[in-house]
Amino acid sequence: MAKIPKEQIKEITRQIKGLAEQAYLECTKHDGRGYQGGFLCICEEGYEVYRVMRIGQPELHPEKVQGWCMNCLNKAMRLFQNPSHFSARQSYDFEAKKYFGGIRIRALGIIITFSGLSQELDEALCAWIAVHLAKMLGLSSISLSKMEWWHIRRLSNNPHMNEYGHINAKAA
Residues 63-97 have pLDDT tens digits of 888 999 999 999 999 998 998 898 899 999 999 99
Q: Does residue 122 belong to any structural domain of this protein?
A: yes
Q: Is the CB of residue 75 less than 8 Å from the CB of residue 40? A: no
Q: Does residue 87 belong to any structural domain of this protein?
A: yes
Pick from 103-107, 128-132, 155-159: least confident:
155-159
Longest dimension (CA), the chain: 42
Residues 121-151 have pLDDT tens digits of 898 888 888 777 777 777 654 445 555 666 6
Q: For the chain, what is the mean pLDDT?
A: 79
The residue among 140, 136, 144 whose CA lies nearest residue 163 is 144
Q: Does residue 1 belong to any structural domain of this protein?
A: no
- pLDDT score for 172: 40
What is the span of the domain harbouring residue 77? 6-171
Pick from 8-22, 25-39, 92-106, 157-171: least confident:
157-171
Exposure string of 37-52, with b = 16+ CB inside 10 Å and e = fewer, is bbbbbbbbbeeeebee
- pLDDT score for 93: 94
Please state the domain count of the chain.
1
Residue 100: give its domain's CATH number. 3.30.450
